[in-house]
Amino acid sequence: MISKRAFLMGIGGLVVAGNAWAAKAPEASNVRFSAWTDDDPLYLFYPSDKLEIQIPTAPELNRSTVVGQDGRITLPLVGQVMAAFKSVPQLQTEITELYRPHLRHPEVSVFPGDTANNRVLVGGEVRNPGWVEAPGDFDALSAVFAAGGFTNAAKSKQVIVIRRGADGAVMQRMIDLKSPLKGNGGAMVALRRYDILYVPKTRVAEAGVWVEQNINNIVPAGIMNWLLYSQN
């Protein structure tokens, strides 16, 4: 449950206004992170992604659809199905099982369609915290610039990247954005869709606290409940 809860920061499609995005400094956090790995996860669906459902044994049920902002798609006979953060094989298997009571030999194929823009969440000590997006690849420094740049209080040498790994675990790593900002070298760190970039003010421990404190401000209730309580 902890891993799912931590990653709630990286989903949904709501643009949040106000001071809820600002860095806060409570005393402790319950968020736990796994060791970082750069292994590529399977393709996962996210809100606003297009996909096609084909059922050769019942072609009248074929659908082209879009993942909603609550992470769900709606299919005939079976209703709403959670699609966000699921791979093609996972979603294919789940839909097949949902149709089993309705069809004699359900054979379901899921095909990804057009994907939404590369979207990442930038929080903490930036001038315009919130979602930023681009049609192509994002690196961490570009994401900070898209969020208005660092505030004067930003600790740009210890920026945190939070990502969901191939096994569903939530990972974090620290990166140095101060050196490349000053032209002193340093690698450009590529971001993946729905990564979280957190710019601390004082200490790394704030990242987990920030994740916990802002859950209700950015995540639609439906997908939040599913992530918190689903065992899948």
- 122 and 135 belong to one structural domain: yes
Would you state the pLDDT for residue 70?
86
State residue 194's pLDDT score.
83
- Considering the domain architecture, whether residues 89 and 193 belong to the same structural domain is answered as no
* End residue of a domain, out of 112, 133, 161: 112
CATH number at residue 73: 3.30.1950.10
Same domain, 63 and 26: no
- Give CA–CA dist 205/223, Å, rounded: 26
d(CA 101, CA 103): 6
* 152 and 138 share one domain: yes
**φ/ψ bin of 149: left (φ > 0), alpha (ψ from -120 to 50), beta (otherwise):** left
**146 shares a domain with 59:** no
Query: How does pLDDT run along the chain (232 residues), one tens digit per residue?
Result: 333 444 344 433 323 323 333 333 333 445 566 777 777 667 888 888 999 999 999 999 999 999 998 889 999 999 999 998 888 999 999 999 999 999 999 999 999 998 778 889 898 899 999 889 887 778 999 999 999 999 988 999 989 898 877 666 778 888 999 888 777 666 678 898 888 898 988 655 555 566 655 544 544 445 444 444 444 4
Q: Are residues 180 and 72 in the same domain?
A: no
Q: Number of structural domains, the chain? A: 2
Q: What gap in Å lies between CA 110 and CA 56, rounded to an integer?
A: 12
Domain that holds residue 100: 50-112
160 and 74 co-located in one domain: no
Same domain, 159 and 124: yes
Sign of CA dihedral 208, 214, 215, 220: negative
How many Å apart are CA 137 and CA 9, to the nearest integer? Answer: 20
CATH (domain of 133): 3.10.560.10
